[in-house]
Amino acid sequence: MRSRNQRQGAPRYCPMSCATYRTVAQAVRRIRATYSPDARETEQEAQEREGSSMSFERVEIGNAVLYRGDCLELLPELAEVDALIADPPYGINLHGMCSTYRSRFLYKSPGERYERDGAYLVHGDDKPFDPAPFLGFPKVILWGGNHYCSRLPDARCWLVWDKREGTTSDNQADCEMAWTNLPGPARLWSQLWRGMARRGEENVSREARSHPTQKPIALMQWCITQCRLPADSLIADPFMGSGTTGVAAVRMGHRFIGIEIERKHFDTACRRIEEAQKQADMFTQPEATAPVQPVQEALV
């Protein structure tokens, strides 16, 4: 019996390994260069792009390793991860969502935009997201899956974040949805998150928001719990942003690999994960040593 996708004529998606994806991507670039005049590049340019060493920065903080660079180039670094949990850019064009609240993430001052490498831009948000390179990991959670579900396999266990908690709707979404390859039914997490009204430790009275699409730490801890991972598992977020997934992973005693291309967000992630690591170390008790037994010396 054919699957629903096959009956409806929808494409079948086959997750590929990191190494396979890199090989296929290089082959596609060569084919496009051969047959498409607009995409043609010289052999020297191709060699420089494919043969040159990747430009990235690596920072190790406790049991977390953070990279500043392009996640597609750094995919081989994620080959051994147990779970990939990410909120990728999926083409909602944040530049066009300049409400009075969000505008502070897009402008230095009225009429003055940040440059492409500026503080609060979401890299890659101006084009559709291709999830294919990230589907081959053992356990995957990708937020915003409803925006690119036509490029995803069928799934049962969608995760839904209720951001309203019974309050009235406004011009923003009532919830956010994450595609997963996990077994089991769909699950729901409720946490108020609408503009400046935020429940949890990210409440404006405690902490300023540091990323335009920042997620609550409690939400990402819930995501990790849904993966049912053993202790000391390796969790990756190739679109790390300000490092919320890393903070959640460190707090729960897991190892973490994060990748972020924007300098401002990368520096923020380093700071937040270092703070989480210090807090985790505070609650790690040193191993108890056996008390020294007194020894009675012989009398002379």
Q: What is the DSSP string of 111-180?
A: TEEPPTTSSS--TTTTS----GGGSSSSSEEEETGGGSGGGS---S--EEEESSTTPPP-SS-SEEEEEE
Q: Decide if pLDDT at 110 tops 60.
A: no
Q: Decide if pLDDT at 267 tops 70.
A: yes
Q: Dihedrals φ, ψ of 224, to 5°?
A: -60, -40
Other C-beta atoms closer than 10 Å to the C-beta of 247 total 24
Strand partners, 234: 255
Show me where the domains of the chain are located.
15-52, 55-281
- Mean pLDDT for the stretch of residues 218-234: 97
The helix (run of H) or strand (run of E) holding residue 11 is none
| pLDDT on residue 45 | 44
132: left (phi over 0), alpha (psi -120 to 50) or beta: alpha
CA pair distance 41, 45, nearest whole angstrom:
6
Which tops the pLDDT comparison, 107 or 238?
A: 238
Q: Which residues of 6-39 are buried (b: 16+ CB within 10 A; e: fewer)?
A: eeeeeeeeebeebeebbeeeeeeeeeebeeeeee
Which tops the pLDDT comparison, 91 or 56?
A: 56
Which tops the pLDDT comparison, 249 or 40?
A: 249
* Assigned CATH for 55-281: 3.40.50.150
pLDDT one-digit tens code per residue, 133-166: 999 999 999 999 999 999 999 999 999 999 988 8
Other C-beta atoms closer than 10 Å to the C-beta of 287 total 5
